[in-house]
Amino acid sequence: MNRRYRKTIIAGNWKMNKTLTETKAFAEDIKTKLGKPKWCEVVLCVPYVNIPAAVRLFKDCRIAIGAENCHYESHGAYTGEVSAEMLKELGVKYVIIGHSERRQYYNETDFTVNKKVHAALEAGLYPIVCVGESLEQRELGVTMELIAYQVKAALAGVPADKMRHVVIAYEPIWAIGTGKTATAEQAAEVCESIRVVIRKLYGARVARAVTIQYGGSMNAKNAAELLAQPDIDGGLIGGASLKPDDFTTIVNAANQE
């Protein structure tokens, strides 16, 4: 982490978990544990149906609410979809874009990711843009080239003055939900390379200010080591964000003066 230049952000991705009742119970539990973090921003990206309640329930403990996806159009005949403007009006601050599960199961492409980034920024949301390689791609030695392409494609047409609202989350696909985690050195190497790509696109000043998270099985045991890396500015947390004790431990690892 490097707070001199950029924000530290711990974001939970609940995926398709927790009913409204369970969300209320989680809020009551974590309020007794978390306090009000001062040195990092805490976000919970929850299912659409829980957003209105979550905005209300987590307001007192300074947890911002995010969505797990949005559509790239502002309105239209897109049954079952939700626009960035709709999310903004509900009180959402962040939105996850391009998660590997959506790329794999819902035909999300680099083209649609880019369109969603623009839609989110236009609506005043902070996009958390996910990039990452498969195990096969890592073993082929193309990780850096692939990640560079994904970052460039996602940011195509995004002006420099909007980059302070963009978060990049490096999530190696082979480490999501598998229990496997990139070593601190592997994660740091890729996050550093992402910053190099942004520096080439926008210059050093913008690159220094962009928050780059690590995802892929960050948990209560490995969070401190990962967050100690200079180019890892937080985490996009899956399973551990569903457990108040574990999520609090991760936040505390990031919430250091």
171 is an active site residue: yes
49-97: pLDDT as tens digits: 999 999 999 998 899 999 999 999 999 999 999 999 999 999 999 999 9
pLDDT along the chain (257 residues), means of 10: 90 98 97 90 98 96 96 97 98 97 95 98 98 93 97 98 98 82 91 98 98 92 95 96 97 90
The pLDDT, as a whole number, for residue 245 is 97
E strands along the chain, which residues?
A: 9-13, 41-45, 63-67, 94-97, 126-131, 167-170, 211-215, 234-237
Q: Is 66 a known ligand-binding residue?
A: no
Exposure letters 103-138 (e unless 16+ CB within 10 A, then b): beeeebebebbbbbbbbbbebebbbbbbbbbbeebb
Residue among 99, 101, 108, 118 flagged as catalytic? 99
The pLDDT, as a whole number, for residue 128 is 98
**Domains of the chain with bracketed CATH:** 8-254 (3.20.20.70)
The pLDDT, as a whole number, for residue 162 is 98
Q: Is 203 a known ligand-binding residue?
A: no
* pTM of the model as a whole: 0.96
Instruction: Tell me if residue 242 falls in helix, strand or coil.
Output: helix
Residue among 68, 108, 133, 171 flagged as catalytic? 171
The pLDDT, as a whole number, for residue 130 is 98
At position 14, the amino acid (one-letter code) is W
The pLDDT, as a whole number, for residue 61 is 87
Q: Is 239 a known ligand-binding residue?
A: yes
Provide CB contacts within 8 A for 251, sequence distance 6+. Answer: 10, 34, 37, 40, 42
28 is an active site residue: no
Q: Is 177 a known ligand-binding residue?
A: yes
Q: Is 134 a known ligand-binding residue?
A: no
